[in-house]
Amino acid sequence: MIIIECRRFGKLQADGSYIAGASETDLAAHTGLSRETVSREVSKLKADGVLHSTGKNIIVTDIAKLEQALGSAL
């Protein structure tokens, strides 16, 4: 869902990162998962250095690395 949000609604930044068009709460609502589950998974991706968040925004620093970490290539 994060990849889709980046590709469809995200804002590409000059450094190649994406500001996703959804927060963790939005992702939980869209996927039917609990907010806690989404937060736990996002924390794992943060630890891997794939993304970080600031307030309501999820920022994907390297979308190719995110795709690799999630095992998908959209």
Q: What residue segments make up the domains of the chain, in order of their start?
A: 2-69
- C-alpha span between 54 and 71 (Å, rounded): 25
- The helix or strand, by DSSP H or E, that contains position 25, with its residue range, turns out to be helix 24-31
Confidence label for 72 from pLDDT (cuts 50, 70 and 90) = low
Whole-number percent of the chain with pLDDT over 90 = 66
Condensed to tens digits (0 to 9), the pLDDT of residues 10-37 reads 999 999 999 998 899 999 999 999 999 9
| Fold (CATH) for 2-69 | Arc Repressor Mutant, subunit A (1.10.10)
Query: Beta strands of 1-74 (E only): which ranges?
Result: 11-12, 18-19, 51-54, 57-60
- Sequence length of the chain is 74
Q: What does the pLDDT read at residue 71? A: 78
